[in-house]
Copies of this chain bind each other. A is one copy, B any other.
Amino acid sequence: MKFSELLEELGKGEYHNSLPLAPHCNPNITGVAAIDQAVSGTLSYIEGAKYAKFLTQTAATALILPLDETLQKTALDLGIAWLATDSPRQLFAQSISLFYQPFHPEPGIHPTAIIADSAVVGKNVYMGANVVIQERVKIGDRACIHPNVVVYPDVEIGHSTILHANCTIHERTRIGAHCVIHSGAVIGAEGFGFVPTPQGWVKMEQSGCTVLEDGVEVGCNSNIDRPAVGETRIGSHTKIDNLVQIGHGCQVGSYCAFAAQVGLAGRVTISNQVMLGGQVGIANEAKIGDGAIATAQTGILHDVPAGEIVSGTPAVPHKLYLKASAITARLPEMYQLLKQIKNKFKFM
């Protein structure tokens, strides 16, 4: 694809670009690459000072640049075709789609798929080999169910939703439209409900259900459990990475992002646009406000107000965490100094 064609494809917004400045600069673009791995012919991007240094070293033929005239001038001098935007990463995401179409099987039901008579399957659905669809399941139009997926009874799958190979959807789960459930994920299994008694554990049956609203993604081998009563709910467009645990009865808002290995205990309430770093843990019934952020490995025991950034275990405001962490390394010298003071002034 010529660079000029690429500009046209991306050209829903207005971008500065090098063509008016250098009309001869209209190379052929054959693919996309990271700035530090780019080869000749590829389009790459620069976002952030960390990557700006690669500009003079890259073999990329074209670049998406930030709105930075110095970088643009350098690119021009180097003979690199460029366009500029205030969000290079986002435009790069769009560019990938010009060169790459994800694997998406054609509609059709594989003869080995096993579908209960009472199930209702929409139009233009793909169902791969060995898929098992149990009683009274409803599957929306254009859903894509990869091989070896098992769907328990009374599940609803919205239209255009993708279930990847070897995932399992348990009874009564309702998954919205345009969701993606990745391989090995388990949605709607029994919550961990055991009541301690003098005679041992009494199992609390998990009679509730799990609801994923539209546009939710759940990563590989992640689990979202159903509760004893009521619902576990994941709000629309929330994105969940791999190996995440969402306990029974959690209420998660919309447009959140949870990194890998996050764990939510039971009945945690999370508002909208909350970001949780990798391996964050949240204790039973904690409430997290709108737009709060927890950095990786944070352990949250109590409520977090809207907009707060927290870190550490137990979680504290991020700025305090940074200060306290910096001093932790000085604890040995603090301790020695205190010993000297104690000896000198004869404290007990």
Contact = CB atoms under 8 A, between A and B. Distances in A.
A239 to B, nearest CB: 5
B148 A96 contact: no
Interface residues of A, dominant DSSP = loop
A61 interface: no
Contacts of A249: 34
B32 A96 contact: no
Nearest to A197: B90
Contacts of A165: 132, 150, 152, 168
A1 interface: no
A36 to B, nearest CB: 9
A42 B335 CA distance: 52
Contact of A335 (B129, B205, B229, B327): B327
A16 interface: no
A168 B239 CA distance: 21
A190 B182 contact: yes
A219 interface: yes
A279 B313 CA distance: 12
Contact of A340 (B102, B299, B347): B347
A192 B259 contact: yes
B281 A93 contact: no
A184 B184 contact: yes
Given A132-B130, A338-B337, A255 B182 contact: no
A127 interface: no
A55 interface: no
Contacts of A164: 168, 189
A285 B228 CA distance: 36
Contact of A93 (B195, B219, B314): B195
Nearest to A190: B182
A324 B329 contact: yes
Interface of A: 32-34, 37, 50, 87, 89-90, 92-94, 96-97, 99-100, 102-103, 110, 112, 114, 128-130, 132, 146-148, 150, 152-153, 164-168, 170-171, 182-184, 186, 189-190, 192-197, 200-207, 219-221, 223, 225, 227-230, 237, 239, 241-243, 245, 247, 249, 255, 257, 259-261, 263, 265, 278-279, 281, 283, 285, 296-297, 299, 301, 312-314, 316, 320, 323-325, 327-332, 334-335, 337-338, 340-342, 344-345, 347
Given A112-B114, A328-B331, 10 more contacts: A92-B204, A100-B207, A103-B153, A130-B132, A152-B165, A183-B186, A184-B184, A189-B242, A223-B260, A279-B279
12 contacts: A33-B229, A34-B230, A34-B249, A100-B205, A166-B184, A186-B221, A189-B219, A221-B243, A242-B245, A261-B263, A313-B313, A344-B345
